[in-house]
Amino acid sequence: MKSKLLILFIVLGGCATPVTMEATGGSRSDGTVELSYNYNELESPVVDPGQALATAREKCGAWGYKDAEAFGEGVSQCSHYNGNGNCIAHIVTVTYQCIGSPSSGS
């Protein structure tokens, strides 16, 4: 039985899973946007950096900034533990810096 579970884990463990980064926080005054995605222990998340940058640019643009760029690699945190205390789900958050002066319109 253990060998069957191990095989199942190996087969599922390598599955590339496309993920979409969504805006989860930020600060207009600081000019930052936080984008996050979730994945579980059986997934290998694949992020589309172009989609993430487009989302950050959209949020920054709504505040009057001209562009955005990733600010570091991002931070991964455990979002769910199993009964044995092992992490089985993660959330990854990447901060984007809004760049270009925000417009001073009303």
Residues paired with 93 in a beta bridge: 36, 75
pLDDT of residue 67: 97
The pLDDT of residue 72:
84
* Amino acid occupying residue 105: G
Residues 7 and 2: their CA atoms lie apart, in Å, by: 9
What is the secondary structure of 29-93 as a DSSP string?
Answer: TTTEEEEEEEEETTEEEEE-HHHHHHHHHHHHHHTT-SEEEE-SS-EEEEEEE-TTS-EEEEEEE
Whole-number Å distance between alpha carbons of 44 and 89:
12
pLDDT given at position 14:
58
Q: What is the pLDDT of residues 20-73, one digit of tens each?
A: 999 999 999 999 999 999 999 889 999 999 999 999 999 999 999 999 999 888
Gyration radius from the chain CA atoms: 18
